[in-house]
Amino acid sequence: MGTSAELPNATAPALPGTGTGASGDGAGASGDGTAGGTAGGAREPAMPGAPTSLSPSRAADFMRCPLLYRFRVIDRLPEKPSAAAARGTVVHAVLERLFDEPAERRSVPRARSLVVGEWERLLARRPELAELFARPGDAPAEGPESGPGGEPTGEVSGPELARWLADAEALVERWFTLEDPSRLEPAERELFVETRLASGLRLRGIIDRVDVAPTGEVRVVDYKTGKAPRPEYAAEALFQMKFYALVLWRLRGRMPRRLQLVYLGSGDVLTHDPDEADLAAVERKLLALWRAITEATESGDWRPRRGPLCGWCDFQAHCPEYGGTPPPYPLVIQPRLPLDDAPGSDG
């Protein structure tokens, strides 16, 4: 893993097709206009519908398992809240909010002090996340404790929650060994981006941080609360970053100079400097993925693909690989003519 040189401090205005997005879940929010991940990893039930755009998360889902993509994007099945995803949301929020402080106040103690407050804000929006730390016999949680004016009290109860918060603080502190926030002035944070390719495919996503140098060179940064992948899996990890680079290139007409993944779980930084061939290959891959998604959407043929992450999947009860049955397909299947009846066929 390599480390990257810091770009000089710079700022830049948002451009058409961009905007500020909500905090991600440690892997980036879906940004695909479908059943994207909500804070803590749960997904809200919604009306089924055909996909209309592609995000890095959903592209990764389809490559991992087409049936997983169907469950999340078309069926929009709910998923259980995740302590790891909730921690990612809190850590991302802290790293974003710290840049609201003057550079001289962006210190480890200040960053650690923000963790409890960000957890309480998240819990106020998603009170069901309290169940992640409930002990047997606990009364149902009604949300975080607050002071007379409704402000967070900063009080923490329960040993499991205390350990979880300590882990989040440790991740935030490790960030300071990888980057110096007092020397950074991000041009944009939690940036929602969207573009439509010449093919008509709409790409969307949320970028954790964009740094712009006075020379105009752009660095795209994404925080990960997990550990860095082994070298043989680095290309898979960089796919998300190349997706973002492609979107920014199409939006702004200038290719990002550097892509940077910051792994807080292991203290590694993975960097890549893309070129036109890189991003053209990503575009071709996305178009091929979208064709496959379109064909599966129209035919209703979504194949499960067993892999090492199946053990963590919330949809095993619906998966044929585990003896489950998918719910009835909610979309109209498009009939296909037999080859013998196709226009221009012999006979």
Report pLDDT digits (tens) over 156-191: 568 999 999 999 999 999 999 999 999 999 999 999
In a 13 Å sphere around the CA of 278, the CA atoms on its Cβ side amount to 20
Please give the C-alpha separations between residue 212 and each of 11, 13, 179, 338, in angstroms, as whole numbers. 6, 10, 16, 54
Higher pLDDT, 169 or 333: 169
Which helix (H) or strand (E) element contains residue 68?
Answer: helix 66-69
pLDDT band, residue 335 (cuts 50/70/90): confident
Report whether pLDDT(70) > 60.
yes
In the beta sheet, which residues pair with residue 53?
Answer: none
Contacts of 185 (CB under 8 A, 6+ apart): 9, 10, 11, 99, 103
pLDDT given at position 264? 98
pLDDT given at position 338? 55
Q: What is the pLDDT of residues 83-122, one digit of tens each?
A: 999 999 999 999 999 999 999 999 999 999 999 999 999 9
Give the chain's radius of gyration (CA, Å): 22
Least confident of 30-39, 61-70, 249-258: 30-39
Report whether pLDDT(153) > 70.
no
pLDDT band, residue 8 (cuts 50/70/90): very low
Taking the C-alpha atoms of residue 242 and residue 285, their distance in angstroms, rounded to an integer, is 11
Report whether pLDDT(225) > 50.
yes
pLDDT given at position 134? 81
Mean of pLDDT over the chain:
83
> Residue 99 class from Cβ within 10 Å (0-12 exposed, 13-18 middle, 19+ buried)?
middle
pLDDT band, residue 3 (cuts 50/70/90): very low
> Of the candidates 26, 20, 50, 24, which has an alpha carbon nearest to the alpha carbon of residue 36?
24
Report whether pLDDT(147) > 50.
no
Report whether pLDDT(215) > 70.
yes
Report whether pLDDT(342) > 90.
no
Report whether pLDDT(347) > 50.
no
What value, to the nearest 5°, has the Cα angle with vertex 202 and ends 196 and 205? 105
pLDDT given at position 49? 78
Q: What is the pLDDT of residues 15-46, one digit of tens each?
A: 334 444 333 333 333 444 343 343 444 444 45
The number of beta carbons lying within 10 Å of the beta carbon of residue 142 is 8
Report whether pLDDT(78) > 80.
yes
Task: List domains and CATH numbers for the chain.
Answer: 18-38+49-134+158-285 (3.90.320)
> Of the candidates 177, 156, 157, 159, which has an alpha carbon nearest to the alpha carbon of residue 113?
156
Q: What is the pLDDT of residues 274-290, one digit of tens each?
A: 999 999 999 999 999 99
Taking the C-alpha atoms of residue 288 and residue 285, their distance in angstroms, rounded to an integer, is 5
Q: What share of the chain is helix, strand, coil (3-state, %, to 5)?
A: 40, 15, 45
Q: Are strands 202-212 and 258-263 parallel, antiparallel or unpaired?
A: unpaired
Report whether pLDDT(243) > 70.
yes
Mean pLDDT on 214-242: 94
Mean pLDDT on 57-82: 96
